[in-house]
Amino acid sequence: MTRIVLVLALVAGCVRPAPPAVTASDAERAHVELAELQRGRELLVKKCGGACHVVPLPTQHASAEWPSRLDEMAQRSGLDRSQRRLIEQYLVTMSTR
């Protein structure tokens, strides 16, 4: 029983809310196409999630911090320039600070 509780606690530590979906008003506010923001979110989930590495939420960093944060992670995750740009666009747009 104790082992089950421990395993459940470990798994729960890996669970995190999904990054927020984008809306037409988000795209309008950022002056970008809605489809680009949606693609950036999809790439973020696909490339940055896995195993117990949780997908970062846009609110984890200020919008001005995301470009340098992505520089650190882009090479390790195998992002090409286009993918990196779309993910950055999503994170910067959806960051609340």
Query: What per-residue confidence (pLDDT) applies to 58?
Result: 95
Length of the chain: 97
Query: What per-residue confidence (pLDDT) applies to 95?
Result: 94
Query: What per-residue confidence (pLDDT) applies to 51?
Result: 53
Q: What is the mean pLDDT of each successive set of 10 residues along the chain, which is 97 residues long?
A: 52 70 95 96 86 80 94 85 95 90
Whole-number Å distance between alpha carbons of 15 and 5: 15
Q: Where are the domains of the chain?
A: 18-94
Instruction: Return the structure tokens found at 66.
Output: 């995301």
**Which of 34, 49, 48, 54 is CA-nearest to residue 94?**
34
Q: Is the dihedral of CA 6, 50, 62, 31 positive or negative?
A: negative
